[in-house]
Amino acid sequence: ILNVEQSPQSLHVQEGDSTNFTCSFPSSNFYALHWYRWETAKSPEALFVMTLNGDEKKKGRISATLNTKEGYSYLYIKGSQPEDSATYLCASGKGSQGNLIFGKGTKLSVKP
C-alpha cells in the first residue's frame, strides 16, 4: 500500500446503529496514525493519534484500534447519533516533523 486508503467512501446508518470504518496505510516506516472528524462548515477536529501496534483508544462512544504490522486501523462508533454525522479522516504520519498523508475520508450520515 503506497497511499492511505479509507473505506467505505460513504455510509448511511440509522440512529442507534453501531458502525465502523477502515483505514489502510503503508506499514513500512510507520510513525503515527491520526483520526480526525470533519463536520460540515467546521474545522477538522482531532479524535485520536496512535503510535503503538495494538493501541486502542476511546473517546465516549468512539474508539479506534491500530495494527502497524499489517497497516490498518479501525474506527468504531457505538450507538450512532445524528451529531456523529461528519467526514472521518485518517492520516498517516511521515515522521516527527508532522507531515501527514491523508485518506479521502469516510462520510457518515446518521438518520434520526
Partner 1 sequence: DGGITQSPKYLFRKEGQNVTLSCEQNLNHDAMYWYRQDPGQGLRLIYYSQIVNDFQKGDIAEGYSVSREKKESFPLTVTSAQKNPTAFYLCASSTSGSVEQYFGPGTRLTVT
Contacts with partner 1, residue ranges (CB under 8 A): 4, 31-32, 34, 36, 41-46, 49, 89, 91, 93, 96-105
Rounded Cα distance, 63 and 47, in Å? 9
Joined together, the cell numbers standing for residue 43 give: 474545522
Name the minimum Å distance from CB 41 to partner 1: 8
Nearer to partner 1, 77 or 90 (CB): 90
**Paired sense of beta strands 32-38 and 86-93, if any:** antiparallel
Nearer to partner 1 (CB atom), residue 37 or residue 80:
37
* C-alpha count within 13 angstroms, C-beta hemisphere, residue 26: 13
Q: Nearest approach, Cβ of 31 to partner 1 (angstroms)?
A: 7
Min. distance of Cβ 111 from partner 1 in angstroms? 24
Q: Nearest distance from residue 45's CB to partner 1, in Å?
A: 8
106 bridge partner residues: 88
Residue 82 grid coordinates:
445524528
CB nearer partner 1, residue 74 or residue 102: 102
For residues 34 and 88, what is the distance between their CA atoms, to the nearest angstrom? 10
Nearer to partner 1, 44 or 76 (CB): 44
